[in-house]
Structure 1
Amino acid sequence: MEKLINALKDKESRMIEIRRYLHQHPELSFHEKETPKYIEAFYKDKDCKVETNIGPNGLKVTIDSGKPGKTIAIRADFDALPIQEDTGLDFASQNEGVMHACGHDAHTAYMLILAETLIELKSEFNGKVVVIHQPAEEVPPGGAQAMIKDGVLDGVDHVLGVHVMSHMPAGNIYYREGNVQTGRDFFKLKIKGQGGHGSSPHTANDSIVAGAYFVNAVQTIVSRRLNPFETGVVTIGSFDGKGQFNVIKDSIEIEGDVRALTDETKHTIKTEVNRLADGLEAMFGVTCELDYHDDYPALYNDPEFTRFVIDTLENANTDAIQSIERCEPQPPSEDFAYYAKTLPSTFIYAGAAPEDGTIYPHHHPKFIISEKALRVSAEAVGLTVLNYLK
């Protein structure tokens, strides 16, 4: 463990260099072409097995100690977002309208250097390490499902992941056992009425009125259908009803986002959205076409493995990790949840708030992180791997 810490400290500048290169060259989910090539080239001539085209553009790297033992997988995603960067950084995105606004460039950078270091140390542990370089985390159905289908978890006992967080203080690791991130669904509702002249609403059937009722009524799912101790959110993000001011539209389209901390709550919300759509037809005499998509499940951290990870870090002698704290569940969704539904897994967080105190949320054009989070992430994952395989 001491060798790992010293090596990562010596290589910290390379981590940052890699992260900045990747930040300049972001690629969108399911369209990653150059990033997988860059990752594959990094492992050239290194003593490991590299498999490409796992799922949509993913890579599986196996570090085999040559001695019998357990197998742990560690995962980092590498896709970016359709956002025009507005950070003013010297290494800002060179790809118009595409930005690493969630920290996946940092994930890949720390993982590459950590993997290199584990390869150098593999004579000192037993078993295997599987490095999952995953594309397409940001866009459903995500990259995890396809990689699992292609066998990325074959023979693996546990999976560990980490995410840098711009709103958490740099130098700290945060964790929580049990349900830690919400699951996500989304839906599109098309309401068809009958168009007409604004002066004669009695001869038409106003789809906007029906849609407005739905927007208000859907909020009662959370307030009147969920247990007060359950976590659920329904957001209407789009109401497409634009038309002429004196014309009653014959149809509109509504799009919504659903988040819930358990899959059971997700199912309840889905049932109620369908019920409301059916009710609109009876109440307003309209026709509803509901397209409802079950998206990422809720992310569940295995309590026993989470405790192992935290005990490992609390007993480690490192100056990079300043504090280890239990956090509240996080509202965003994460397709790491698919690994956690397959194997006992843990997803932790590395604080990455900028030192100047200017904090922008993930997916913001001005999103910036403290690069201290790279070595913190690498040490947290690396120390856990070594302790697990000793």
Structure 2
Amino acid sequence: MNTLQEKLFAKLNEKEDRMIQLRRYFHENPELSFHETKTAAYIENFYEGKDCIVKTNIGGGNGITVDIVSGKPGPTLAIRADFDALPIQEDTGLPFASKTPGVMHACGHDGHTAYMMILAESLIELKDELTGTIRILHQPAEEVPPGGAKTMIEGGCLDGVDHVLGIHVMSTMELGEVLYHKGPVQTGRATFKAVLHGKGGHGSTPQDANDAIVAASQFVSSVQTIVSRRINPFDTATVTIGSFDGKGSANVIKETVTLEGDVRIMKEELRPLVEKEFRQLLNGICEAFGITYELDYQNDYPVLLNDEQTTEMVRKAVSQANIPEVTGVVDSGAQTPSEDFAYYALERPSCFFYVGAHKKGTPIYPHHNPKFTIDEDCLLISAKAMASAVLYYLTEGV
């Protein structure tokens, strides 16, 4: 371990309690995507008086960039942490549970922000020993399209940046592990809302009505054939109907039904195929049943592509750092959720990697679950893993 890394790790060790307290503050005070004004103000205030360049309202939203400029020649590396929460009622029983009804940090973004703030502060304190520039990306609105990454990029957050790194803590991966995957690592996504209009009537005289529930049910079953009969079995794709709104009275034939859901793909070339088949099935079924429909089909987050060289650099950096709290650096394989970090990866060579946050012997609650929680030991691991990648990048490059 080199001297600079020893100094940085020592600072992170000393500040671990503050890191945890920051995480608990954010956890108690969650804010939804595109509404994180108090969180953004708290982050901005944290950097007040520190030797860095802070820009706020990036892209017209709540995004913040923090530049740590060494004054010595070198590349510019951006490292990102998101800070929005979810519309979920928390059911963890934690003493620092959300104080806001119906809003919860159920994905670990509170932890991302906490570790990143302490890491940034420590890098600022050591900036005279660094080279190049480190740009901290404090990003809002990861959870809701069009996503905070897209608006921040439009606001110039990647101007002058050479590479981008990001971490996600994972409640489904074991504490102590740092995980990576080269190439396509998280799915691309589309969301849809279809409103089917039939003709309402009495349950005793179905011949005088045109049942939208029957048509919608036929579509729900048929749309699954896109994956089973139109997608190569070796490729990854899903079509999910997450909401079927057809509630009414027992003896009334429903006139209008609303379906909502999403599509996931691991290859961008599958995106137009799935949409084409989706529209064709919906159109055909509605025509067959003699009903009409309205469709809002939105393609949003791209497939997240981890640059192979950048990812290998991260793997090597974390492996060689000999972080005491890390039990292994392993390939996670591809992950099925979507992530708006994908927009950064479209613009610059990037790596998005993972830190295990599940303590062995305890129940696993997945992300977006009301009982979601993380082992807070993952915060220090995240800070040290990112620190090792930053230092390796600035000294050795990709």
Q: Same fold by TM-score, threshold 0.5 exceeded? A: yes
Counterpart amino acid of residue 189 in structure 2:
R
Name 2:311's counterpart in structure 1: 306
Counterpart amino acid of residue 253 in structure 1:
T
* 2:280 is the counterpart of 1:279: no
Query: Residues 221-300 of structure 1: matches in 2 within 5 Å?
Result: 221-300=226-305
Name 1:41's counterpart in structure 2: 45
Name 1:117's counterpart in structure 2: 122
CA distance in 2, matches of 1:93, 1:250: 40
Counterpart amino acid of residue 211 in structure 2:
D
CA distance in 1, matches of 2:89, 2:243: 21
Measure how far apart 1:356 and its partner are: 4.4
Which of the residues 166, 169, 180 maps onto 1:164?
Answer: 169
Whether contact under 8 Å (1:180, 1:329) holds in the other structure is: yes
CA distance in 2, matches of 1:376, 1:129: 19
Name 1:94's counterpart in structure 2: 99
Uncovered stretches (5+) of structure 2, i.e. residues with no partner: none
Measure how far apart 1:355 and its partner are: 4.8
* 2:7 is the counterpart of 1:6: no
Name 1:61's counterpart in structure 2: 66
C-alpha deviations, 1:8-63, integer Å up to 9, x for none? 11111111111111111111111111111111111111100000111320100000
Name 2:213's counterpart in structure 1: 208
Which of the residues 180, 187, 191 maps onto 2:185?
Answer: 180
Name 1:147's counterpart in structure 2: 152
CA distance in 1, matches of 2:371, 2:144: 21
Name 1:132's counterpart in structure 2: 137
CA distance in 1, matches of 2:66, 2:171: 28
SS of residue matched to 1:199: coil
CA distance in 1, matches of 2:211, 2:321: 65
Uncovered stretches (5+) of structure 1, i.e. residues with no partner: none
Name 2:203's counterpart in structure 1: 198
Measure how far apart 1:202 and its partner are: 2.2
Greater Cα offset, 314-323 or 150-159: 314-323
Measure how far apart 1:245 and its partner are: 2.1
Name 1:369's counterpart in structure 2: 374
Measure how far apart 1:201 and its partner are: 2.1
CA distance in 2, matches of 1:101, 1:123: 38
Name 2:348's counterpart in structure 1: 343
Name 1:29's counterpart in structure 2: 33
C-alpha deviations, 1:326-357, integer Å up to 9, x for none? 01211111110110111111100000003542
CA distance in 2, matches of 1:364, 1:247: 35
SS of residue matched to 2:314: helix
Extract structure 1 runs of 4+ deviating beyond 4 A.
Answer: none
Measure how far apart 1:298 and its partner are: 1.1
SS of residue matched to 2:27: helix
Whether contact under 8 Å (1:277, 1:290) holds in the other structure is: no
CA distance in 2, matches of 1:87, 1:197: 46
SS of residue matched to 2:335: coil
CA distance in 1, matches of 2:321, 2:236: 35
Counterpart amino acid of residue 99 in structure 2:
Q
Measure how far apart 1:249 and its partner are: 2.1
SS of residue matched to 1:132: strand
CA distance in 2, matches of 1:18, 1:170: 20
Whether contact under 8 Å (1:58, 1:133) holds in the other structure is: yes
C-alpha deviations, 1:234-281, integer Å up to 9, x for none? 111111112222222222111121111122222221111111111123
Name 1:329's counterpart in structure 2: 334
SS of residue matched to 2:185: strand
Counterpart amino acid of residue 279 in structure 1:
G
